[in-house]
């Protein structure tokens, strides 16, 4: 019997893998807590201890990828110590990227860890629905997306599951185990927990304001009524349970005083906010294009130009019109402060300012700005970038690829026979398939890739630092796995496929023609039989 055929050997490998994954989860949970407050010595020590445990287990049990990532995290943490505990933008970014890579290990179907029998990184999701059949169908769909879900059929089953293991999230019917009992069950549960669990409530009928208020008080993160759309639910659970999805806020500080700018940078870095400083206001537009900040902190009085003048210049550019601008100045004349805010500003903070006040203001403003920007540039059905913004991202990526001499690929995807899906199963099913593919792409592509809904059933993907051959292999694997998903329907389950066309920048393909060339490749894939990936060839 070979090693691969030895059941005891496989069980041992599984056990070792679980130990490593458990420790990786601890690292990510500490990292998630850090995003909610200022980073202090105790938090950094807890992160360091958890990561050293991961490094030790990964090396002991032969998990090379986890060992490498733990090593990357350790080097960043040691750099913080060498910097006398001070965080810098580079260190925050390095830690964030390492955590994002760590979170993806063992999570996705088709990655290199599938052969080592690693379980999903996250805890299960408990489905406490009155309709057990609905819960079981939902659990099956979640499994296709790498999530594990446990349907529960009674309050006793729920209590038993909670006693055995706390879940990553709970989907709770307000009437689970009786009229209004789900709300009571959830409220009682949360009262005994130090760290509240994410709760998503569902009601099969429209609910009144008191019911929704009770859900909020029980800790509801979302409330679904009438219908429970699987794709939307899965995506929301992804956001709530995936710790390393967090991307640090980016702040640009423009101040002619290097000392003041450095002080502001240190304060924001201490809270895990990536900060860049600029002491020459005239360079602001170049820095904005490169850095793409979530928020700008602007000195009011500078010799080259005033803060209000620079704010007006920034607001003349459509891409920066919604970026919050906060004036930070020693000016204490209220009338002058109000005049400054009327000139393209959003807030005014007076020096000296307490660090906690500055951090709280920046976080609140940046969070709101991200939310508003998402509504402006994203497709409402899928949450992907809309057509216009996708092309803008392609233009930016093309400029950077030419500047850095790196490859860039652009792909267009189209769901096969989509009209037949709508005609046979109805438009709600068509929307469900579209949202399903959108989530599938988000799960399996890199954070640096840009995914857009190009229109209808057509998608587009910008793949920086990727040649056409690599892009084709990646999308072909996604195509194959997407085709294996089944959607419960009548008279029989539905499955869908997609075709894709890829074009690479260079070799006669200019940035202005990338979309056209990818579209031609997609046309070739469609006419070649569909359910395939084609690369543009002149």
Q: Which residues are catalytic?
A: 457
Q: Which strand (E) or helix (H) includes residue 412? A: strand 408-415
Cα–Cα nearest to 460, from 433, 479, 432, 438:
438
How crowded is residue 381: how many other Cβ atoms within 10 Å of its Cβ? 13
List the beta bridge partners of residue 127: 151, 171
Inter-residue contact 170 to 197 (CB < 8 Å) = yes
Measured distance CA(271)–CA(228) in Å, rounded = 37
Cα–Cα nearest to 330, from 307, 354, 299, 304:
299
Tell the burial category of 423 from Cβ atoms under 10 Å away from its Cβ (0-12, 13-18, 19+): exposed
3-state secondary structure of 360: helix
Measured distance CA(133)–CA(140) in Å, rounded = 11
Within 13 Å of residue 243, how many CA atoms lie on the same side as its CB?
Answer: 24
Measured distance CA(66)–CA(78) in Å, rounded = 18
Cα–Cα nearest to 482, from 431, 428, 412, 413:
413
> In 105-154, which residue ranges form alpha helices assigned H by DSSP?
132-144
Q: Which strand (E) or helix (H) includes residue 464? A: strand 458-464
Residues in Cβ contact with 457 at an 8 Å cutoff, skipping those fewer than 6 apart: 414, 415, 418, 430, 433, 434
Q: How many residues does the chain have?
A: 538
Tell the burial category of 203 from Cβ atoms under 10 Å away from its Cβ (0-12, 13-18, 19+): buried
Inter-residue contact 523 to 499 (CB < 8 Å) = no
Inter-residue contact 344 to 313 (CB < 8 Å) = no
Inter-residue contact 488 to 446 (CB < 8 Å) = no
Q: Which strand (E) or helix (H) includes residue 286? A: helix 284-291
Instruction: Output the CA angle 24-30-36, nearest 5 degrees.
Output: 140
| Torsion angle, alpha carbons of 127, 128, 133, 135, to 10 | -20
- Per-residue DSSP letters for 12-48? HHHHHHHHHHHHHHHHHHHHHHHTTS---HHHHHHHH
Inter-residue contact 243 to 29 (CB < 8 Å) = yes
């Amino acid at each position: 019997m070979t090693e691969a055929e030895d059941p005891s050997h496989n069980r041992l490998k599984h056990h070792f893998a679980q130990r490593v994954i458990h420790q990786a989860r601890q690292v990510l949970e500490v990292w998630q807590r850090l995003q909610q407050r200022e980073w202090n010595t105790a938090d950094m020590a807890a992160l360091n201890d958890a990561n050293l445990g991961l490094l030790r287990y990964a090396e002991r049990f032969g998990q090379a990828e986890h060992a490498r990532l733990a090593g990357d995290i350790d080097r960043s943490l040691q750099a913080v110590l060498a910097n006398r505990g001070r965080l810098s933008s580079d260190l925050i970014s390095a830690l964030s990227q390492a955590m994002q890579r760590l979170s993806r290990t063992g999570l996705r179907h088709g990655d290199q860890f599938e052969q080592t029998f690693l379980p999903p990184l996250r805890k299960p999701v408990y489905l406490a629905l009155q309709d057990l059949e609905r819960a079981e169908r939902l659990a099956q769909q979640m499994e296709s997306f790498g999530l594990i879900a446990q349907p529960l059929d009674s309050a006793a089953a729920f209590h038993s599951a909670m006693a055995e293991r706390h879940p990553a999230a709970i989907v709770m019917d307000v009437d689970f185990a009786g009229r209004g009992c789900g709300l009571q069950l959830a409220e009682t549960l949360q009262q005994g927990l130090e760290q509240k669990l994410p709760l998503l409530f569902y009601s099969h009928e429209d609910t009144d304001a008191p019911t929704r208020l009770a859900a909020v008080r029980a800790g509801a993160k979302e409330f679904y009524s009438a219908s429970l759309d699987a794709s939307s639910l899965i995506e929301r659970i992804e956001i709530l349970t995936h710790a390393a999805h967090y991307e640090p806020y980016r702040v640009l500080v423009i101040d002619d005083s290097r000392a003041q700018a450095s002080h502001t940078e240190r304060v924001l870095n201490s809270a895990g906010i990536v900060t860049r400083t600029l002491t020459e206001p005239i360079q602001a537009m170049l820095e904005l294009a490169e850095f793409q900040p979530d928020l700008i902190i602007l000195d009011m009085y500078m010799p080259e130009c005033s803060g209000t003048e620079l704010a007006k210049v920034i607001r003349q550019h459509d891409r920066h019109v919604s970026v919050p601008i906060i004036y930070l100045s020693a000016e204490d004349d209220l009338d002058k402060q109000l005049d400054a805010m009327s000139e393209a500003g959003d807030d005014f903070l007076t020096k000296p300012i307490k660090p906690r006040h500055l951090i709280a203001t920046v976080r609140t403003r940046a969070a709101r700005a991200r939310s508003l920007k998402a509504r402006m540039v994203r497709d409402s059905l899928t949450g992907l970038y809309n057509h216009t913004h996708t092309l803008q991202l392609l233009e930016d990526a093309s400029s950077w690829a030419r500047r850095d001499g790196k490859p860039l690929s652009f792909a267009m995807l189209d769901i096969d026979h989509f009209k037949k899906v709508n005609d046979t199963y109805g438009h709600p099913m068509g929307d469900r398939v579209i949202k399903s593919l959108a989530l599938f792409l988000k799960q399996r592509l890199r954070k640096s890739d840009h995914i857009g809904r190009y229109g209808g059933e057509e998608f587009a993907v910008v793949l920086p630092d990727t040649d056409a051959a690599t892009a084709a292999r990646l999308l072909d694997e996604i195509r194959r796995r997407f085709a294996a998903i089944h959607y419960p329907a009548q008279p029989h389950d539905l499955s869908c496929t997609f075709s894709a066309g890829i074009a690479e920048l260079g070799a006669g393909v200019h940035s202005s023609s990338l979309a056209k060339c990818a579209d031609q490749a997609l046309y070739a894939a469609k006419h070649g039989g569909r359910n395939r990936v084609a690369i543009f060839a002149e």
